[in-house]
Amino acid sequence: MTAPDTIRIFDTTLRDGEQSPGCSMTPQQKVVMARALDALGVDIIETGFPASSESDREAQRLIAREVRRPTLAVLSRCLPADIEASARVLEGTANPRLHIFISTSPLHREHKLRMSRQQVLDMAATSVAHARRLVGDVEFSTEDGTRTEDDFLEEVIAAAIANGATTINVPDTLGYATPEESRALFQRLIATVPGARDVIFSAHCHNDLGLAVANSLAAIEGGARQVECTINGIGERAGNAALEELVMALKVRNAFYDIDTGIDTRRLVPTSQLLRRLTGMSVQRNKAIVGENAFAHESGIHQHGMLRHRGTYEIMNPSDVGWPDSKLVLGRHSGRTAVGHRLRALGYTLEDAQLEQVFIAFKDLCERQRVVEDSDLEALMHGDVSGQGWRLASMTVSDRGQRASAQIELSDPEGAKVSESALGDGPVDALFAALAAATGVELALESYQVHSVGMGRDARGEASVSVRHGDDIHEGTGTSRDIIEASALAWLDVANRILRASRTVPALQAAHA
């Protein structure tokens, strides 16, 4: 059992998280994720809702064979058949938990359950007793608990404790509560409900108003010692409290909270990235802790501060959460200090006048591309600032018939025309195949995004690609009134970066010979 002065992390990525549209996983994928959650150090893994599907039942059985340290929980409604089915699927589990729930708010009682207060109370009491006879560890949840009348919430929880519940979860199912309300709710329940001191109180907060982590932290202040959360904050609607944010808030602000978790924080980023691969759901770049920009700095003022002392613009070490290091991203907001620092790291020693000349060329390049990489800096140092490379001359894309087709014409770096065509599973797939054939550059697509820039007549489409070339990941962008053309320009943005790098390396080798 987790020590009293630590927070139990109840991970519901495989249950509530998987209910996020587009995030369903196969039983085998759930096993892979469960292994990662075990290595991460979570205390309880909720594997699914057995009564809802055979897939969830199979996932629990497979996970139980391989994952033995943490408690494995399954969710069940307060119905005898559901409880018995859930108990059966837990057989053979090293540390089983049966998690049962019933709605308690007036809105849910009237419109969802069509039951009176007394009927809900009776069902909660008999269901907890039934579950406890089958499984020794029973968690009871009051769905929509934060919108339930105070007296009735206390009455239902008291009945659940009296009938054997070992954990009481009070969910903010609709993400409606505020931190002050959450803190006061748990303080009051723990102080007034008979038997409350003998069980663990748990918070399960949704993010509809962006307050899931704040409400979870407030619940901890109120006495909750278990928090239910998900990797990357995935879940119904706007999602759940993000595990990585909650854990790092407790770690970074430990002097304030004076409480910790058993999580190996160095595994947060790898676990986040694994979930992204399994579900295909990307994480916004500025997502706290695990987003690509969480430890990236482009502003010249910030970069200057970081070069003087990391603590000026970072409150935690990136390696503590699984990132290799901070990133000083060179772009239009970067200053001379950051550019000079990066050039010195690449082995160049420049006088002030030389740096100024390179910096002017750097700023000019920033007007044509968002991010300047090392290969771009190398090209600037060797005078290749013309921006010459592969250029799109014309393109025709058709999505008729069973497969899409693309015909393109490019100008190569020497100005000669190159034409190619290709088929694909869709217009963009066909386009990228034709570009690869024309340039001879093979890129493995990691992610592809399109969105609109501007409104009305001035609106343009912007495409962003993240691709793998060899062992390296490259990103490119393209903008056009036609989104397919923007996609081609994004692909060529990457191809031209690789071209510049290939030209620079021989020049450097010759210079150092």
Which residues does the annotation place in the binding site for Mn(2+)? 16, 204, 206, 240
| Plot region of 171 (φ>0 → left; ψ -120 to 50 → alpha; else → beta) | beta
Task: Please classify residue 143 by burial: count the beta carbons closer than 10 Å to its beta carbon, then call 0-12 exposed, 13-18 middle and 19+ buried.
Answer: buried
Q: Give the span between the Cα atoms of 250 and 254, in whole angstroms.
A: 5
Residue 470 contacts by C-beta under 8 Å, 6 or more apart in sequence?
Answer: none
User: Do the Cβ atoms of 44 and 13 come closer than 8 Å?
Assistant: no
Helix, strand and coil content of the chain, in percent to the nearest 5, comes to 45, 20, 30
For 135-167, the DSSP string reads -S-EEEEEETGGGS-HHHHHHHHHHHHHTT-SE
Closest CA to 435 of 443, 425, 426: 443
Instruction: Report yes or no: 139 and 99 within 8 Å, Cβ to Cβ.
Output: yes
User: What are the structure tokens assigned to 411, written together?
Assistant: 């100008």
The Cα-based distances of 185 to 121, 193, 219, 243 in angstroms read: 20, 12, 8, 22
Q: CA-to-CA distance for 428 and 155, rounded, in angstroms?
A: 59
DSSP per-residue codes, 401-440: SSSEEEEEEEE-TTS-EEEEEEEESSHHHHHHHHHHHHH-
The identity of residue 207, as a single letter, is N
Which residue shows structure tokens 């025309």?
417
